[in-house]
Amino acid sequence: MNDFLLVQMVSAERLKSGHELKVPVLSELKNSLAGVSGEQRTATLLTRELDLSGDFVLLSDVTIPYKDSSVQIDLLVIHANFVCVLEVKNMIGDFYFDSVNYQFHRVIDGRREGMRNPEAQVHRAVKAVNGFLGVPVQGVIVLTSRSSKVVDAPKLYPVVSLDYLPFHLEKMVEGSPHFDVAKLANKLKKLPPQEISKSWLARHQISFDSLRLGVTCPTCRTCSLIWRDRKWHCEICGFHSRDAHEVTLQEYAVLFGSELDTRFAYRLLGVENKYVLYRLLEKSAPKSRIRGKRQIIESRELLREYFSRIYR
């Protein structure tokens, strides 16, 4: 789970019931989870079966600056003979690529649905990688579901099924090696992290006040725990814990950053006693050099473990 997926998960869990963004955010999260599943299956297959002569590197979830924005790339194969962008689609239905207007739609259960054009997405990714690395770049649209069928094929880039992908890439190894694989891979790995999460929050106008506050019960998931007798208690299911607030602090950090205003901390955790707040934050969010501010010690792994139990 990258930070962008964590932001979507936290937002979906924390948006207030009935909030106008609840349904679209849940829908986007569902699509993201399907996409991640497809990317993981693709990476696993290539790691296991791709048979290329010479060294190659498979990079996943690469974000490259492009013009005034950035491009997120599902998978990128770097070989001494070729560099290839893989645009992975985990969708079902009959696919129609309009090679005149470069639009795209699918038909599923008799319904026509207009969607973002995968050909346009891979083309933008190819241009971004080409501009950044300064080498020729190829692109492939990968369909991971066996319940997908291309009726009208795209014009500029091939579409291949996941099962055939290793063979397709193996056929691209022709001629003498002319790329320094390690040099290109290192250049990409040194890229600073892009602020995709913040732009997504801004686009949806999700703020601190949009969210359901309090320490969430990990069992009920919709109600807040109460601090009593040095423990967090759920009055619905009986759950109790001493450190349930740790997840809440990490949720705040992934959405808004590690700096926490003490005034927000009271509202975030749902406590009123300053001594209780001090004890809860003492180790996980110690005081910073700025008066009235706390610095959350970030632990993405804690969030990943928490949400992996929810989204199995």
What integer pLDDT is reported at residue 234 of this predicted model?
A: 92
- What is the rounded distance in angstroms from the CA atom of residue 56 to the CA atom of residue 214? 47
Q: Model confidence over 140-159: pLDDT tens digits?
A: 999 999 888 999 889 889 99
Contacts of 300 (CB under 8 A, 6+ apart): 3, 6, 250, 254
Whole-Å CA distances, 62 to 8, 28, 73: 18, 20, 5
**Can you give the chain as a three-state secondary structure string?**
CCHHHHHHHHHHHHECCCCCCHHHHHHHHHHHHHHHHHHHHHHHHHHHHCCCCCCEEEEEEEEEEECCEEEEEEEEEEECCCEEEEEEECCCEEEEECCCCCCEEEEECCEEEECCCHHHHHHHHHHHHHHHHCCCCEEEEEECCCCEEEEECCCCCCEEEHHHHHHHHHCCCCCCCCCCHHHHHHHHHCCCCCCHHHHHHHHHCCCHHHECCCCECCCCCCCECEEECCEEECCCCCCEECCCHHHHHHHHHHHHCCEEEHHHHHHHHCCCCHHHHHHHHCCCCCECCCCCEEECCCCHHHHHHHHHHHCC
Q: pTM of the full predicted structure?
A: 0.78
What integer pLDDT is reported at residue 266 of this predicted model?
A: 93
What integer pLDDT is reported at residue 199 of this predicted model?
A: 77
What integer pLDDT is reported at residue 5 of this predicted model?
A: 86
Q: Model confidence over 216-229: pLDDT tens digits?
A: 998 888 788 999 99
Radius of gyration of the chain (CA): 23
95 neighbors 148 (Cβ within 8 angstroms): yes
Counting as low any pLDDT under 70, the low residues of the chain are 194-195
Straight-line distance from the first to the last Cα atom of the chain, in angstroms, rounded to the nearest whole number: 12
What integer pLDDT is reported at residue 137 of this predicted model?
A: 94
Contacts of 219 (CB under 8 A, 6+ apart): 234, 237, 239
What integer pLDDT is reported at residue 70 of this predicted model?
A: 83
What integer pLDDT is reported at residue 100 of this predicted model?
A: 80
Q: How many CB atoms lie within 10 A of CB 286?
A: 11
Rounded to the nearest angstrom, the gap between the alpha carbon of residue 275 and the centroid of all alpha carbons in its chain is 37
